[in-house]
Amino acid sequence: MSALYPRARGLEELWRLLVAPAPPSGTGAGPAPAGLGDIEVDVARFGIPPAQAASMARLQLLMVEAARQCLDDAAGPGGLPGRTDVVVGTCLGLDRQYANALRVDGARYARDLAETLAEGPWRHTGTDPRDAERELNDVLARRLGASPHDRVGEMASTIPARIASAFKLRGRTLAVESADATSYWALTHAVDSLRAGLTDAALVVVGQRDEGRFARRALAAKGIAAGPDEAGDGPALAEGLGALLLKRRS
């Protein structure tokens, strides 16, 4: 197993939190922790090129590190059976996904804007519609980011594949996303595969990181979470990652 949480950077710290007496009602557990931003991940160790690492969501890198710690806790990948599936759950998704979706839709809007300027009453103003399109796309790129590796950074399906490649695991890879039920579905899939004899072991890695405002705003807008804060970004999301290696007993 492995655990990476704001208040628990490892299994021993997580266990201490689990067995510690609960704080008095209404007092909370103290000041909010800083999150997971200070955890260092050696991307070169996992064969991740720097250009790709810069475009990857932070959660992806943390999941690879959580997988490493889990395999180390299980005595390393060398002791695993022949077929080891990797199942990853990203809970509420990745901010890179939301940003890229906004940028794609924004680019479509920029094209529509240019066509409107070219055909409407503005065509006699002397303004080149293509300039307006370029300017809007530049604004979107600055606000939302843009890189040739953005697809690598936004696709949750690349995470289990990257984990399998980094640790030379020979099995199927799967990414699931089901909000609060993600851990349940990831474990259910792993257990069902083991019982059916489809795999000999399954590495399950599930996590969520509060990367930015996109998921918070979406949840607040749908009334699923508390309303926006003063900045209009919605409440902070809980953060943490856990990994579990499952094997058949016989």
CA 147, CA 244: separation in Å to the nearest integer? 33
Determine contact, residues 240/108, Cβ cutoff 8 Å: no
Average pLDDT rounded to a whole number, residues 123-147 = 74
CA 82, CA 93: separation in Å to the nearest integer? 30
Low-confidence winner among 17-26, 81-90, 222-231 (lowest mean pLDDT)? 222-231
Q: Does the structure show a pLDDT above 90 at 192?
A: yes
CA 238, CA 8: separation in Å to the nearest integer? 13
Q: What does the mean pLDDT of the chain come to? A: 80
pLDDT value of residue 239: 85
pLDDT value of residue 90: 86
What are 37's two structure tokens? 């931003």
Backbone angles phi, psi at 67, to 5 degrees: -65, -40
- Pairing mode, strands 2-4 and 240-247: antiparallel
pTM of the model: 0.73
Q: Does the structure show a pLDDT above 90 at 201?
A: yes
Q: Which of 134-143, 145-154, 179-188 has the highest mean pLDDT?
A: 179-188
